[in-house]
């Protein structure tokens, strides 16, 4: 039987005896420091694949093959294939792999093998001094939202919300492979177009807004309230997506974020994929529930972006400057990396 992420999160909270413990009553802030861009990856760069959350399976081989096809030298984390219950190894082992990847000066990129659940259990042990000392590319999504959030709040590092290396070609094909490559290996801006076939495309509040693109998986954002993982969203474009959630769950999570003030003075909202949301005749869809919650914020909302758990998942940088334009149906994001060593050499 599959165990849902929400069940695991709820069980973990119950096990601590403190279901909700608000640390500061407000999202963590990162001051006014400028965003940090890691150098773009180049062929020949070493990259590390790690599993901070769930256990990868045979699909991982395809993801590693793709990275090698980019010309990258792929290394597995020491505990990549461990298993401890529903986790990819003990907390100590997964944290050791995480920190080793950010401490090794030869590793220029870190790719998550799989999401699921577990990153929350180790995130407070992240070596932020190593991250600040030598920034590098990080790619992951879903449960890894908390790691992207902590990289931003603790080091102002731009990370990438993109596919895990537990890769399925039927879900992420040539277009999505190229989206990942361009995001981490070029300094081109990223433009995503609203796809009318996506359920979230039905959500719209007209306008244009510019701000720092922040967010990730809605469940993980709500779960991060009161921790150091949730960035301040003031002046930001909030990006969120989710999977296997009912319409009332979207309502409940957004209501919680609104009531805590986490969405106060956001600049706009960009909506990714609402994957496998239940539909009950005569009741709101997930899109209708989200429209009801967001329309009162008074900010532009653009839906239909292929970001998240659904087919055709594209890659976007979190922490980069972005603009949503509901009339054009576009999310435009500045590059999440700066020119790497190979790029500098080509300019000299």
Cα-based angle 213, 216, 222 (whole degrees, multiple of 5): 115
**Which residue among the candidates 42, 245, 249, 309 is catalytic per the annotation?**
309
User: Which of 176, 198, 241, 245 is flagged as catalytic?
Assistant: 241
Instruction: Based on the residue annotation, tell me whether 79 is a catalytic residue of this protein.
Output: no
Question: Which residue among 42, 142, 200, 249 is the active-site one?
Answer: 142
CB count, 10 Å around CB of 347? 7
Query: How much of the chain is helix, strand and coil, in % rounded to 5?
Result: 35, 20, 45
Q: Residue 204 is inside which H or E element, if any?
A: strand 204-205
343 catalytic? Reply is: no
* Closest residue by Cα to residue 269 from 334, 203, 327: 203
CA dist 50 and 53 (Å) reads: 9
- How far, CA to CA in Å, does 168 sit from each of 82, 102, 210? 21, 27, 33
- Residue owning tokens 């239909």: 304
Are 102 and 128 within 8 A, CB to CB? Answer: no
Residue 193 is a catalytic residue: no
Helix (DSSP H) and strand (DSSP E) numbers for the chain: 11, 16
Give dist(CA 340, CA 95) in Å, integer: 28
Torsion of CA 29, 31, 32, 36, to 10 degrees: -70
* Residue 45 CA, distance from chain mean position: 23
- Alpha carbon distance 303, 194 (integer Å): 6
> What is the helix (H) or strand (E) element at residue 108, kind and residue range?
strand 107-112
With contact defined as beta carbons under 8 Å apart, do 296 and 328 qualify? no
* C-alpha closest to that of 227 among 9, 13, 19, 23: 23
Compute the distance between CA of residue 322 and CA of residue 290 in angstroms, rounded to an integer: 21
Q: Catalytic residues, which ones?
A: 142, 241, 309
């Amino acid at each position: 039987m599959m165990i849902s992420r929400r069940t695991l999160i709820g069980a973990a909270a119950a096990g601590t005896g403190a279901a909700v413990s608000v640390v500061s009553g407000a999202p963590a802030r990162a001051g006014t420091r400028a965003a940090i861009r890691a150098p773009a990856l180049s062929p020949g760069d070493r990259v590390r694949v790690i599993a901070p959350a769930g256990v990868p399976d045979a699909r991982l081989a395809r993801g590693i093959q793709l990275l090698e096809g980019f010309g990258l030298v792929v290394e597995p984390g020491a505990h990549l294939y461990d298993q401890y219950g529903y986790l990819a190894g003990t907390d100590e082992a997964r944290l050791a792999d995480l920190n080793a990847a950010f401490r090794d000066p030869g590793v220029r990129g870190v790719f998550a093998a799989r999401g699921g659940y577990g990153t929350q259990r180790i995130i407070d042990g992240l070596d932020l001094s190593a991250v600040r000392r030598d920034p590098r590319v990080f790619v992951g999504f879903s449960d890894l939202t908390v790691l992207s959030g902590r990289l931003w709040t603790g080091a102002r590092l731009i990370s990438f919300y993109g596919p895990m290396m537990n890769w399925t070609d039927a879900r992420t094909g040539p277009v999505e492979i190229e989206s990942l490559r361009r995001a981490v290996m070029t300094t081109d801006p990223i433009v995503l177009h609203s796809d009318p076939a996506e359920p979230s495309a039905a959500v719209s509040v007209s306008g244009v807004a510019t701000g720092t693109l922040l967010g990730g998986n809605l469940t993980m954002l709500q779960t991060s309230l009161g921790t150091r993982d949730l960035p301040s969203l003031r002046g930001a474009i909030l990006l969120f997506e989710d999977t296997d959630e009912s319409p009332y769950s979207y309502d409940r999570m957004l209501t919680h974020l609104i009531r805590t003030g986490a969405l106060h003075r956001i600049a706009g909202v960009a909506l990714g994929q609402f994957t496998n949301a239940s539909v009950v005749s005569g009741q709101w869809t997930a899109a209708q529930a989200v429209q009801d919650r967001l329309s009162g914020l008074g900010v532009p909302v653009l839906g239909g972006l292929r970001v998240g758990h659904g087919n055709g998942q594209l890659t976007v940088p979190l922490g980069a400057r972005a603009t949503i334009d509901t009339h054009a149906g576009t999310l435009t994001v500045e590059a999440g990396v700066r020119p790497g060593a190979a790029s500098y050499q080509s300019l000299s």
